[in-house]
Structure 1
């Protein structure tokens, strides 16, 4: 009887162990594998946004609008494949902006990839695009020519200016990579206006995401937190 009890106990313990290993991870509130998958929550919209050519599979998921991420498996070829992002609309002229800031914290791959973690801030008519490159890895670079290196909005940037044929692009490339911080959007918009590059435009979408060129084998890009005030 004692031997039988020992055997039964071992079986129960083994079964419990197997159940623990097999338990699925907690599911995200939302996820999508659709190229154009979108989800809206608390004034923010998430976009999978696989817009380039030669792309691979990509899945976006979200626990909330401020905590979301992407698994992407794009081939090691040139050209931007996607810009998964979270967006909040501002809808105020530069002259009317009050305190307008954004904070972020991300966990990203640093090898075997080509991408930038970037803000994309648009004028409401999409004639002007402000990109804030917070970190970059692999063979990626900004559009246009270098104008200056300066500190504005809480960071030091190498600032490029150019056109993609559809709109003007102002790329603020942080001189040192960072995975977290706060940016002063009003200060950056006011600085651009002071250069005469645009007038009193209306600031529309403020987006934060990952502009991915390659992530062969599958890589995880995680937004631990993100918020826009203003």
Structure 2
């Protein structure tokens, strides 16, 4: 019997070690190099890092580079560093895009659970936001009809609005909305291509968010006339910088459509 013990002991060790090996393989299977191209994309499981430097031509000077850091299960981490000078308007929206479960009709979505933990460092005053960006369409994969933004931070920026106060600031169409564990003001405007609905925190910055984004969609379908027959065609999370220099670091992010 002694020879059998020698044969089976190493096999048992391999079986016990297999979950750890699987986890290491998952963590090592993504591209963590820095990407700086205007339309660069990097796929990581159900997610995609999208540089999206769509407004860079409006800057006098500047650049932005982004990279994935790690992926463990459905949780991804990433960072983006940017510096933009001159020119009017937003220069980019570098983001993490979800590619699983989109093109689903709003009436068929039961929940959109998400976690986003992030921090940002900057060397001077900046103009930017940190926000989720969702788009809906009349058809699956169709032209955008509505843009729904959930801002977690507003750094000297501001949402689009049809109306502005005497102080020149946008005025909300609804205030003191209790959604996903926080209080929000809702703004409504148009970007020249589609309607834009922006939820902004009533006060402060939310650097650790955990909630169901479907509660925001439900509010719009129940109170603002967006049809539940619309399809969710895009779901992203990132930052929109206009000017200054900063590094946004996401330590943990996850999003799913159920």
**Cα displacement string for residues 76-98 of structure 1 (whole angstroms, at most 9, x for unaligned residues):** 55311111000114222121112
Distance in 1 (CA, whole Å) between partners of 2:119 and 2:133 is: 19
Q: What is the TM-score with the length of structure 2 in the denominator?
A: 0.73
**Cα displacement string for residues 11-52 of structure 1 (whole angstroms, at most 9, x for unaligned residues):** xxxxxxxxxxxxxxxxx7232111111111111111111111
Distance in 1 (CA, whole Å) between partners of 2:198 and 2:70 is: 28
Task: Give the match's secondary structure for 1:31.
Answer: coil
Given the alignment, which residue of 97, 111, 121 partners 1:87?
97
Q: What is the CA-CA distance between 1:119 and the residue it aligns to?
A: 0.4
Q: What is the CA-CA distance between 1:108 and the residue it aligns to?
A: 0.9
Task: Give the match's secondary structure for 1:108.
Answer: strand
Matched-pair contact (CA < 8 Å) for 1:30–1:39: no
Q: Which residue of 1 aligns with 2:120?
A: 108
Equivalent positions of 1:203-214 (< 5 A) are 203-214=232-243
Residue 216 of structure 2 is aligned to residue 198 of structure 1 = no
Q: Which residue of 2 aligns with 1:151?
A: 178
Matched-pair contact (CA < 8 Å) for 1:116–1:136: yes
Equivalent positions of 1:6-155 (< 5 A) are 29-52=32-55, 53-54=58-59, 56-64=62-70, 66-75=76-85, 77-89=87-99, 90-109=102-121, 111-124=124-137, 125=142, 126-138=144-156, 140-144=157-161, 145=163, 146-149=172-175, 150-155=177-182
Q: What is the CA-CA distance between 1:203 and the residue it aligns to?
A: 1.2
Distance in 1 (CA, whole Å) between partners of 2:242 and 2:190 is: 20
Q: What is the TM-score with the length of structure 1 in the denominator?
A: 0.81
Q: What is the CA-CA distance between 1:204 and the residue it aligns to?
A: 2.0
Gap runs ≥5 in structure 1: 1-27
Distance in 2 (CA, whole Å) between partners of 1:196 and 1:157 is: 15
Distance in 1 (CA, whole Å) between partners of 2:180 and 2:104 is: 18
Task: Give the match's secondary structure for 2:239.
Answer: strand
Gap runs ≥5 in structure 2: 1-30, 164-171
Given the alignment, which residue of 203, 210, 213 partners 1:185?
213
Deviant stretches of 4+, over 3 Å: none
Distance in 1 (CA, whole Å) between partners of 2:214 and 2:40 is: 30
Task: Give the match's secondary structure for 1:32.
Answer: coil
Q: What is the CA-CA distance between 1:224 and the residue it aligns to?
A: 1.1
RMSD, aligned CA: 1.7
